[in-house]
C-alpha cells in the first residue's frame, strides 16, 4: 500500500508518506500551485529522498486548457503519475511509460465496482473510489488497482463561477455560509478557477489493508 499525502511544502513532509500529491496548474481548485519551472525541480527533490510524486490534475478541462496541458506533458512524464478526473488525460497520455500511473480521482462518477473495473480496461491504471463508496471494497476484494481517500474535506459544491468576486466579497479570505433556516455552516473558498463549498475534515477508518493507494487529501486542512 502506498500512502499518498497532499504536498504543501518541503519543510513539512509527512514522515510515513510513500508519495506526495503535488498541486498543478490543472488541479481542481488550486491551493498550493507549483509553477511549471519549479515543478521539475520539486519532482527531482522529492525523488532524491525516495518519495514518489503524483501530480494533481483533477480539474475538468476546457479546450484552451488542453492546449496548455500539452506544454506540460514532458515535465509530467518525469513524475510517477497523474491524479485526474477528466478522461482527456487518458487520451493525451495513452502511450505513457508503464511506470507512470494514470490514477482516476473522481468527484462522483460512479457508485459501483463494475464501473471502476471497466475504467481499468480503458487505459486507467488505478481508480480511487469516490468519497462515500469505500464500502465497495472488502478484505476479500482484489484491491491492487484501487485506492481510497482516508482523510479529506467533504466537497459539497464545485463551480467554475467565482461566486465571492461576483458578489463583491473579499475572495482572499475563507468565509462560512449558512443556509438561512439551518444551523450548520460550511466553508466557501474562491480560487483562481472557481468556487468550492466544503465541510470540515472527514476520516475513513475502515478500509481493506491490501488497498493499493491510501490518500491523505489534506489540501484544505490546516495542520498543527
Partner 1 sequence: MTRFELLAPAGDLDKLKVALLYGADAVFIGGKKFSLRAKANNFTLEEIKMGVEFAHNLGKKVHVTVNIIPNEKELEEAKKYIKELVKIKVDAIIVSSVALMEYVKNNNLPIDVHVSTQCSVSNSSAIKFYKEEFNIKRIVLARECSIKNIECMKKEIDTEIEIFIHGGLCSSISGRCHLSDFYTQRKANKGCCAHSCRWTYKIDDDKKFLFGCKDLCSISFFSKLLDLGINSFKIEGRMKSIHYIASVVRAYRYYIDAYEKNMLNEEVINFCNKELLRCESRDYGKSFFLGKIDKSDMVEYEKKEVNNEFVGYIRVIDDKIFLIPKTLIFKNDCFEMIVPNKIDSQIIKIEKMVLNEEEVFDTRHVNDKIEIFVDKNVCDYAILRKIK
Contact footprint for partner 1 (CB under 8 A): 60-67, 86-92, 107-115, 118-119, 122-123, 154-163, 166-167, 169, 175-180, 182, 188, 194-195, 197, 199
Looking at the Cβ atoms of 10 and 177, the one nearer to partner 1 is 177
Looking at the Cβ atoms of 43 and 61, the one nearer to partner 1 is 61
Using CA atoms, how far apart are residues 211 and 11, in angstroms rounded to an integer? 28
Q: State whether residue 154 is helix, strand or coil.
A: strand
Smallest distance from the beta carbon of 142 to partner 1, in angstroms? 17
Q: Which residues of 163-195 are buried (b: 16+ CB within 10 A; e: fewer)?
A: bbeeeeeebeeeeeeeeeeeeeebbbbbeebbb
Looking at the Cβ atoms of 10 and 118, the one nearer to partner 1 is 118
Looking at the Cβ atoms of 32 and 107, the one nearer to partner 1 is 107
**Per-residue cell: 1:** 500500500
Smallest distance from the beta carbon of 104 to partner 1, in angstroms? 11
Closest CA to 85 of 28, 31, 4: 28
Looking at the Cβ atoms of 45 and 185, the one nearer to partner 1 is 185
Smallest distance from the beta carbon of 10 to partner 1, in angstroms? 32
Smallest distance from the beta carbon of 219 to partner 1, in angstroms? 16
Tell me how far CA of residue 93 lies from CA of 19, 69, 70, 212, in angstroms. 21, 11, 10, 21
Looking at the Cβ atoms of 36 and 122, the one nearer to partner 1 is 122
Q: Are strands 213-216 and 2-6 parallel, antiparallel or unpaired?
A: parallel
Using CA atoms, how far apart are residues 88 and 62, in angstroms rounded to an integer? 10
Residue with cell 513532509: 13
Using CA atoms, how far apart are residues 83 and 102, in angstroms rounded to an integer? 7
Smallest distance from the beta carbon of 59 to partner 1, in angstroms? 10
Smallest distance from the beta carbon of 101 to partner 1, in angstroms? 17
Amino acid at each position: 500500500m502506498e500512502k499518498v499525502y497532499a504536498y504543501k511544502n518541503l519543510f513539512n513532509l509527512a514522515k510515513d508518506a510513500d508519495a506526495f500529491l503535488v498541486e498543478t496548474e490543472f488541479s481542481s481548485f488550486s491551493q498550493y500551485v507549483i509553477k511549471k519551472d519549479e515543478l521539475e525541480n520539486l519532482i527531482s527533490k522529492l525523488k532524491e529522498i525516495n518519495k514518489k510524486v503524483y501530480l494533481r490534475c483533477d480539474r475538468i478541462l476546457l479546450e484552451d486548457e488542453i492546449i496548455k496541458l500539452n506544454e506540460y506533458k514532458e515535465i509530467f512524464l518525469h513524475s510517477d503519475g497523474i491524479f485526474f478526473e477528466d478522461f482527456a488525460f487518458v487520451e493525451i497520455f495513452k502511450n505513457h511509460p508503464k511506470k507512470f500511473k494514470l490514477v482516476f480521482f473522481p468527484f462522483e462518477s460512479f457508485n459501483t465496482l463494475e464501473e471502476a473495473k471497466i475504467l481499468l480496461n480503458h487505459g486507467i491504471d488505478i481508480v480511487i473510489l469516490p468519497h462515500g463508496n469505500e464500502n465497495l471494497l472488502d478484505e476479500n476484494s482484489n484491491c491492487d488497482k484501487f485506492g481510497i481517500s482516508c482523510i479529506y474535506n467533504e466537497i459539497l459544491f464545485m463551480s467554475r463561477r467565482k461566486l465571492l468576486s461576483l458578489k463583491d466579497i473579499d475572495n482572499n479570505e475563507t468565509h462560512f455560509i449558512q443556509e438561512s433556516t439551518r444551523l450548520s455552516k460550511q466553508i466557501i473558498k474562491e480560487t483562481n478557477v472557481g468556487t468550492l463549498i466544503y465541510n470540515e475534515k472527514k476520516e475513513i477508518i475502515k478500509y481493506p489493508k491490501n488497498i493499493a493507494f491510501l490518500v491523505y487529501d489534506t489540501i484544505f486542512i490546516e495542520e498543527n
